[in-house]
Amino acid sequence: MNARAKRLMVLNKGSSSLKFALFDLTGLRPLARGSLRDLSSEPRLAFEAEAGGAPFERIAGPLPPAAAAEHLLAALNARGLLQNVGVVAHRIVHGGSQHRAPAILDDQTLRALRALSPLAPLHQDASLDVAEAAMRRLPSAVHAGCFDTAFHAAQPRLARLYALPRHLLEDGLVAYGFHGLSYAHVARRLQALDPEHAGGRAIVAHLGSGASLCALSAGVSLATTMGFSTLDGVPMSTRCGALDPGVVLHLLQARGLAPDAVSRLLYEESGLLGLSGISGDMRALLASASCEAAEAVSFFVYCVVREIGALAAVLGGLDTLVFTGGVGEGSPEIRARVCGQMRWLEVEIDARRNQAGAPEIGTGRVRVLVEPADEELAMAEALRDANITAPDGG
């Protein structure tokens, strides 16, 4: 590899943010991190200290994905942070049945990934818009997609089936699962923290504006709560979670809603926002005196507890419970309420350690951990494992 191409950049487009991270390509040593936040309202460009410059900068918004990428890359270039970038990793939510590992992005691959946009309408097109903007800005770098679905590709066949006619299953109507990059990071952390017990039975609760849970056996995904799309499982900030398909038929047939209106309702107007009528932000709901807000939070906790029970049954027991994601890491109250209903699984926590957000909060037989999500590092590790490196020309 040419000495001029020693950096790997990660771009992670979330629901309302665009994160970046820079790593040394040979050893994955972190060099800089930051993000563009609140893209749909009042964007702020924030850098961690090692990136240099002002801690944050306000930008006129809103910023659509491509414009956000262009602004971020221009800011990085002005700070000299794009020098020697030879590889760029892009988080892409849905890889379909074709992508079980990171893939080089070219025109054909981008077209195929665009076709999956209806399965992840809040994320897929936005991530691809960011990727295309970065490809224009850094045309000599290798651009690769890292897929949230890939981590679950090795699940047992039964975990991926729907009871539909077989020809539909063969045409790709199966449960894919998501948040795989987050789960991959947690699996690696469990191995690093406690190699002796990393082969045990773990449930990871990725709780944020998007939320799902995953059952791990020896670090491998056995089952997860999201399925064919990012709608399934527990209720989320604005997404409904698991829903009787008959409700969708009713909305279409009896209520006369157009398909686009149903999609908007299920993805953008439901979940915590829909139940509370106030907000999809868990912090706002916990601070509210509204009965509707309290009910939305209680329903969220109920669904998380129910899914932990189901996943524990798949695993045949539980050794480790991990909370991650914005709510999982940041809300002691949600952790306490979930764990308070899991005593039958021998889950117990220390109230003071939980309130402080300590890395380990369990006091019972089951280890209970709080792990910061690091999808950016997981993506860098995925490219390293796939041996995707910079071109010889830098």
Question: Cβ(146)–Cβ(89) under 8 Å?
Answer: yes
282 is in an annotated binding site: yes
16 is in an annotated binding site: no
Domains of the chain: 7-147 (3.30.420.40), 196-374 (3.30.420.40)
Which active-site residues does the annotation give? 148
19 is in an annotated binding site: yes
pTM of the model: 0.92
Give 344's DSSP letter.
G
Helix, coil or strand: residue 168: helix
Of 365, 366, 362, 332, which Cα lies nearest the Cα of 350?
Answer: 362
Longest dimension (CA), the chain: 64
CA distances from 218 to 68, 241, 258 (A): 39, 27, 45
pLDDT at 56: 56
33 is in an annotated binding site: no
Report whether pLDDT(54) > 80: no
Report whether pLDDT(14) > 50: yes
Question: Cβ(144)–Cβ(37) under 8 Å?
Answer: no
207 is in an annotated binding site: yes
Question: Cβ(140)–Cβ(394) under 8 Å?
Answer: yes
Neighbours of 310 (CB within 10 A): 15
Of 336, 342, 333, which Cα lies nearest the Cα of 365?
Answer: 342
**Euclidean distance between the first and the last CA atom of the chain, given in angstroms as a whole number:** 7
Report whether pLDDT(340) > 90: yes
256 is in an annotated binding site: no
Helix, coil or strand: residue 269: coil
pLDDT at 359: 97
48 or 262: which leads in pLDDT: 262
281 is in an annotated binding site: yes
Q: Which two tokens stand for residue 237?
A: 């900030």
Reported as a single tens digit per residue, the pLDDT across 135-162 is 999 999 999 999 999 999 999 999 999 9
Report whether pLDDT(52) > 90: no
6 is in an annotated binding site: no
| Residue range 195-200: mean pLDDT, rounded | 83
pLDDT at 111: 96
| Residue range 371-379: mean pLDDT, rounded | 95
pLDDT at 60: 62
Give the model's confidence band at 391: pLDDT under 50 very low, under 70 low, under 90 confident, else very high: confident
| Residue range 339-361: mean pLDDT, rounded | 98
Report whether pLDDT(96) > 80: yes
Query: For the chain, how many residues are written?
Result: 394
Task: Kindly give, in sequence order, each residue whose CB lies less than 8 Å from that of residue 106, ignoring residues fewer than 6 positions away.
Answer: none
Give the model's confidence band at 195: pLDDT under 50 very low, under 70 low, under 90 confident, else very high: confident
